């Protein structure tokens, strides 16, 4: 039987923390966010967020482009619910902002392709 440090990893990458540890054990977001909610980094954020590395990773992803919660989850390889909690915290702390539904057309083919790609990445 392999020891923990020699045990194979499913992803082949470094060991990861359990998703709930990213959010200090919280499973419910502070804001009501949908899987298709688009978010982007706030230009006024003076520096990347401190704390868990996942916070700065999510911020960096959203700094490049506006992304849905599902896309962020797929790229970070985290459950959507964990990302909702993480993103809600970053929105509350003014590092990220949710794009109003009027600006994020849910029928836009490009948005739908990106949501699908994010779901498939999970």
Task: CATH number of the domain at 33, please.
Answer: 1.10.10
Nearest CA to 80 among 67, 70, 88? Answer: 70
What is the model's pLDDT at position 8?
38
If DSSP codes are grouped into helix, strand and coil, which group holds residue 40? strand
Give domain status of residue 3, yes or no.
no
CB 72 within 8 A of CB 83: yes
Residue 106: pLDDT band by 50, 70, 90 thresholds?
low
Distance of alpha carbon 76 from alpha carbon 56, whole angstroms: 11
Distance of CA 107 to the CA centre of its chain: 22
Taking Cα atoms as reference points, which of 57, 54, 41 lies closest to residue 93?
A: 41
Which residue range(s) make up the domain with 43? 16-101+109-121
Q: Is residue 38 part of a domain?
A: yes
Across 81-99, average pLDDT = 94
10 in any annotated domain: no
* Furthest CA-CA distance within the chain: 55
The pTM of the whole model exceeds 0.85: no
SS3 call for 104: coil
Domain membership of residue 9 (yes or no) is no
| Torsion of Cα atoms, 50 then 80 then 73 then 122, to 10° | 150
The answer to whether 81 touches 27, Cβ cutoff 8 Å, is yes
Structural domain count of the chain = 1
pLDDT at 28 > cutoff 60: yes
In this predicted structure, which of 9-13, 21-25, 101-105 has the lowest mean pLDDT?
A: 9-13
Q: What percent of the chain has pLDDT over 90?
A: 43
- Joined together, the tokens standing for residue 89 give 């915290």
């Amino acid at each position: 039987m392999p020891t923990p440090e020699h045990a194979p990893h499913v992803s082949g990458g470094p060991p990861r923390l359990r998703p709930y540890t990213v959010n200090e054990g919280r499973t419910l977001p502070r804001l009501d966010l949908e899987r298709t909610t688009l978010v982007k980094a706030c230009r006024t954020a003076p520096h990347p967020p401190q704390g868990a590395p996942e916070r700065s990773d999510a911020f960096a992803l959203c700094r490049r482009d506006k992304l849905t919660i599902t896309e962020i989850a797929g790229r970070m390889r985290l459950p959507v619910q964990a990302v909702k909690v993480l993103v809600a915290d970053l929105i509350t702390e003014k590092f990220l902002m949710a794009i109003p539904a009027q600006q994020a057309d849910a029928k836009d083919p490009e948005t739908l392709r990106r949501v699908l790609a994010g779901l498939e990445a999970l």
